[in-house]
Amino acid sequence: MKPPSDFFERVYAVVRRIPPGRVTSYGAVACAIGAAGAARTVGYAMNASQNDPTVPAHRVVNRVGLLTGKFHFGGLQAMQQQLEEEGIEIKNDAVVHFQRHFWDPMTDDSEASAPFLPHRK
């Protein structure tokens, strides 16, 4: 087996912490692992995560809540299907009420709501 780089493993750890019915953005994960700015690398790690079913990559979307990685999934509908199963509504390959389902690995507000908006004031 080829153990993934420490960086990848760190990404997997964060993604695995994502509670069901919640979604997060690559930038948030990157920042959580201390690699702020390496959001692209996070997506790259996700691609390798497909080998690890323990990583719910379908819960990871871009900052606009768009399922940019659906093309890399087995089926284009697979990612959307999974999210809908979690209770998340998808419209035009985009997460509805993305803010509401947004979950920050650092905030870890699995119980409390997340009025926190990634919007820069």
Partner DNA sequence: CCGGTGACCATTA
Partner DNA sequence: GTAATGGCCACCG
Task: Name the site residues for DNA (rule: CB under 7 A).
Answer: 5, 7-8, 25-27, 35, 37-50, 57-58, 60, 62-64, 68-69, 71-73, 79, 118, 120
Q: How far is the CB of 99 from DNA (least distance, A)?
A: 13
Pick between residue 2 and residue 115 the one whose CB is nearest to DNA.
Answer: 2
Distance between terminal CA atoms of the chain? 46
Nearest residue to 101 via CA among 28, 32, 24: 24
Comparison of 1 and 111: residue with beta carbon closer to DNA: 1
CB proximity list for 70: less than 8 A, separation 6 or greater:
76, 77, 78, 79, 80, 93
Which lies closer to DNA via its Cβ, residue 36 or residue 108?
36
Nearest to 49 by CA among 8, 20, 10, 101: 8
User: What's at 62, amino acid-wise?
Assistant: N
Whole-number minimum distance, CB 117 to DNA, in Å? 12
CB of 26 to DNA, least distance (A): 4
